[in-house]
Structure 1
Amino acid sequence: MAGFKLNLRIDQGATFNQLATWRTGKRPGVPVDLTGCTARMQIREKLAAPSVLVDLTTENGGILLGGSTGAITMRIEAAVTAAYAWRSGIYDLEIIFADDTVRRLMHGSVSVSPEVTR
């Protein structure tokens, strides 16, 4: 099953905090248990770009998983977003299960809204 599309907007100079809940089945759905999982997400200018603009993982604290609730939180501190000189890119987010199965859960475009107040 392909991941779902979710376009993201990051406000430059503000804390980015995006919550998603992975559910399966018919609405409202049953949360997917993420206990024991890790996650990774990269933002690049375009698909073939060799350099990574943003690298979020459960290991570096940029992604928090909510265990049995299915919650996934992506977080970037305000001091980090304030330094962003780029304005757009693409991303995907992958969940890695304890048995090393990888699931591409979400993907989409990313835009950075420039900060006026400094």
Structure 2
Amino acid sequence: MAQNKTIKIDAGADYFLTVRLRDEAGELIELTGCSARMKLKKEYDSADAMVSLTSDAGGGITFERFDSDSAFIDACCVHIINVQTGPLVDYSIKDGDGEVQPGEGVYDLEIVDTAGVVLRAINGMWIAMQEVTK
């Protein structure tokens, strides 16, 4: 079962997330040869994703060794660039005090192994805090 986590993103800034998976015995799972995909949406049934990432070249997701002592590739690294995080907040939506509301929605990250088996690694809510300096 996927880990459920709320992620907090600064709109207009780069966002980084590293995920390491463990099996039932607590051992790190080797991710060599895997692919990955991630979407951030306003709601689960939204037709379009606000951010869509893949592990294709330049797609925002890479697989790496977590540290130099790792015996194999054991980390899935997500990088959402600033031009993707900026639109996560709609600055026209204000609360009762006239303050800009943070953006929010749902996301998941799926990893596909070399046999084509899909594992949802992490999912949950995202919250984007508005930026002042643009």
- Category of TM-score, reference length = shorter chain: 0.7 to 0.9
- Identity rate, percent: 30
After TM superposition, give the deviation of residue 25 of structure 1 in Å: 4.2
**Structure 1 residue aligned with 2:80, among 76, 83, 104?**
76
After TM superposition, give the deviation of residue 13 of structure 1 in Å: 1.4
Alignment-derived partner of residue 105 in structure 2: 89
3-state DSSP of counterpart to 1:99: coil
The residue correspondences of 1:1-118 to structure 2 (distance < 5 A) are: 2-25=1-24, 29-59=26-56, 60-66=58-64, 68-86=72-90, 87-118=103-134
For the residues of structure 1 that align with 2:19 and 2:8, how far apart are their CA atoms?
14
Runs (4 or more) in structure 1 with deviation over 3 Å come to 83-86
Q: One-letter code of the match for 2:85?
A: T
Deviates more, 1:55-64 or 1:106-115: 55-64
After TM superposition, give the deviation of residue 9 of structure 1 in Å: 1.1
TM (norm. structure 1) is 0.87
After TM superposition, give the deviation of residue 117 of structure 1 in Å: 1.7
For the residues of structure 2 that align with 1:81 and 1:22, how far apart are their CA atoms?
25
* Alignment check: 8 A CA contact 1:23 1:70 kept: no
In our comparison, the structure showing a higher alpha carbon Rg is: 2
Unmatched runs of 5 consecutive residues or more in structure 2: 66-71, 91-102
Q: Which has the higher strand share?
A: 1
After TM superposition, give the deviation of residue 22 of structure 1 in Å: 1.3
For the residues of structure 2 that align with 1:88 and 1:113, how far apart are their CA atoms?
9
After TM superposition, give the deviation of residue 18 of structure 1 in Å: 1.1
Q: How many residues align?
A: 115
* Alignment check: 8 A CA contact 2:107 2:126 kept: yes
